[in-house]
Structure 1
Amino acid sequence: MLGSTTFFAAMAVMIRIASADLSTAQIAFFRNLFGLLFLLPFLFRGGWRLPRTAQLPRYLVRCAIGVASMLCGFWALGNLPMAQAVALSYATPLLATVAAVFILGETVRMRRWSAVVIGMVGVLVIVRPGSEAFSAGSLVALGGALLSALVAIQIKQLSRVDAADTIVFYTYVFWVPMSLLPALFAWQWPQGITWLWLLLLGAFGTGGQLLWTRALKIGEVSALQPISFMQLPLVALAAWLLFGEAPTQWTLMGAGIILGANIYIAHREVQLARRAATSGPAGAAKPGE
């Protein structure tokens, strides 16, 4: 998980650097194109057979929302202070908890609802609506977090039928042409070293995904979640060293609140899953959980 977090932090830095020369849509396209190229050897290491699925319409919806989320997130990394953009992206697990109630019909009781509310307070601390420091761009970052939450719900639905490799493969297959379309409206060919940043962007993004998937397979979410939040200090350090950006006290305070809420939610979900697995119906969540 630490390796995955480091790769995602490096990807964020590549996005920021490439944003100086290319549009957000182009960066998203090349991230998907090079990401797919790096991914293919891992997906087809057991043989070059096309994965099968009966859920293509659902993949189309999932990938369209995913591209929109990516555009919002990439724009935020390119235009907002990097620490703020990453901190606001951590609202995704909070919003996914809410979305799971309305879309999947999951039961979320008082303790986790309280954690969600506390986490959203952290979001408000960062955004500070009504103050002079408020930026409409922060709403773009939050929009990306909301769309990412919807993507997480859709992946959960897809995983009930399809294997993880199948989901990853079709996600990239649809992402490449979908992200190309908006990129064509602002197209300009990358020049010189920009190609290297785009290549590294695809490599770091794919490497981060592969390590993240592996980490979740061999470890527990509650133990891994705090490690994944190391992305924020890594990005903040890189932003300070490379771009002279220092995170504000409001960003650090809000991020701490959001991270604490996310850690608690992940911990409760693992506890309830263990109880349900070991106790059957008797282990169902009690009021307040």
Structure 2
Amino acid sequence: MKVTGPSFVSNDELGFGRGLVWMALSMISFIGMSIGSRELASSLSIQQVLFFRALVGLIIILVLARKLLPEVREKKMLRLHFIRNIVHFTAQYFWTIGVVFLPLASVFALEFTMPIWVAFFAWLILGERLTGPRLLATIGGFVGVLVIVRPGISMVDPASVFVLLAAAGYGLSLICVKQLTQQCSAGAIVVWMILIQLPLGFVLALTDWEPVHWHTLPWMVLAGAGALSAHFCQAQALRILDASVVIPIDFLRVPMAAIVGYYAYGEFIDVWVLLGGAIILFSNYQAVMTDRRNRAA
């Protein structure tokens, strides 16, 4: 008589599941950061939005994550931390312009041209091979962008260009984070992000300072906590999963943002945004699945 033993979940499956949980938390946090940033920008300058986001993040770290400070004092890969955060800060500035002036779904759909830049910078910096599936994903991403912005149909919103520049910056930043995770914990990466970006935000905020009122405090907390949580969760996911897996999962932010924009701001769900986002998502999904099949073979 054959006795069937208990079934166990493999370590790979458990790791993949944990990576998915971290990505889900990251997506929710990014949406929260977007809402808080948009509300803040209604009464403050964009420079102030970036500054207060970082300030709230610093307060949270000092209260909850002081145990990370010894690791931070070791100053591992400090030069790369500075490069990553200067690029990321600039990308955040462009991205926040998009959040203020474009529907949320459009911002996230355009932001997800990032895999194009991730593939390019991975080839340029990490020496990764540009495979056929990744080239097809790049072409698909470009087609998706054309569907969303539809040049020639109407004047392209300048805010869309800023979001595309932000996507390039995020792509380079992601490659830097992947390198940083080799020696630094996700928490230390986020702490350095706050320590470097806070003074940058403060200096820029002084150039366009608007009066700050108490009613903006909840939005500061939402934007700051959301930003901190989003990048921590994303860094945790990158420690577990390949970047080529993390980014396509992150595409789910497009429909999430469309739903939030519809209910919170009454934004019309543009069929062209959804169609372009679907093209970008499908192209990258096919590339990831093909790469995984090839590696398994």
Q: TM-score, normalised by structure 1?
A: 0.85
2:124 pairs, out of 98, 102, 108, with 102
In the alignment, residue 101 of structure 2 is paired with which amino acid?
A: N
In structure 1, what is the Cα distance between the partners aligned to 2:174 and 2:245? 20
**Kept in 2: contact 1:236–1:247 (CA 8 A):** yes
Superposition deviation, residue 65 in structure 1: 1.0
Deviation at 1:215, TM superposition (A): 4.3
Partner of 2:58: 36
Give 1:7's aligned residue: 29
The worse-fitting range, judged by mean Cα deviation, of 140-149 and 164-173 is 164-173
Structure 1: gaps (5+ residues): 276-282, 284-289
Partner of 1:112: 134
Deviates more, 1:258-267 or 1:179-188: 258-267
Query: Residue type of the partner of 1:256?
Result: A
Q: Is the 8 A contact 1:112 1:268 kept in 2?
A: no
Read off the aligned partner of 2:205 and give its amino acid letter.
A
Q: Which amino acid aligns with 1:240?
A: Y
Q: Is the 8 A contact 1:39 1:206 kept in 2?
A: no
**Unaligned residue ranges in structure 2 (runs of 5+):** 1-22
- More displaced stretch, 252-261 vs 33-42: 33-42
CA apart distance, 1:28: 1.0
Aligned residue number for residue 60 of structure 1: 82
* Structure 1 residue 166 corresponds to structure 2 residue 188: yes
Report the more deviating stretch, 216-225 or 18-27: 216-225
- Structure-2 separation of matches of 1:100 and 1:220: 12
**1:240 deviation in Å?**
1.6
Partners of 2:240 and 2:61 lie apart in 1 by 21
Conserved in 2, the CA contact under 8 Å of 1:128 and 1:134?
yes
Q: Secondary structure at the match of 1:193?
A: helix
Please tell me the residue identity of whatever aligns with 1:182.
Answer: L
Provide closer, same or farther for how the CA distance between residues 161 and 90 of structure 1 changes in structure 2, counting only shifts above 3 A: same
1:279 aligns to what? Answer: none
**Alpha carbons of 1:238 and 1:89: their partners in 2 closer, same or farther (altered >3 Å)?**
same
From 279, 282, 294, give the equivalent of 1:257: 279
Letter in 2 for 1:150: L
How many angstroms apart in 2 are the aligned matches of 1:160 and 1:189? 43
Task: Find 2:166's aligned residue among 112, 135, 144.
Answer: 144
Residues of 1 paired with 2:196 and 2:222: CA distance? Answer: 21
| C-alpha distance in 2 between matches for 1:234 and 1:133 | 27
Provide the residue aligned with 1:176 in structure 2. Answer: 198
User: How many aligned residue pairs are there?
Assistant: 275
> Does structure 2 conserve the Cα–Cα contact (< 8 Å) formed by 1:25 and 1:183?
yes
Report deviation, 1:200.
Answer: 1.3
Identical columns (%) = 29
SS of the aligned residue for 2:184 comes to coil
- Alpha carbons of 1:149 and 1:50: their partners in 2 closer, same or farther (altered >3 Å)? closer
Match among 225, 236, 241 for residue 203 of structure 1 = 225
| RMSD after superposition | 2.5
Conservation of the 8 A alpha-carbon contact between 1:125 and 1:254: yes
Distance 1:105 1:212, change over 3 A: closer
Match of 1:185 among 199, 207, 211: 207
Alpha carbons 2:52, 2:220 under 8 Å: kept: yes
Work out the CA distance in 2 between the residues paired with 1:146 and 1:259.
17
Contact 1:33/1:176 (CA < 8 Å) preserved in 2?
A: yes
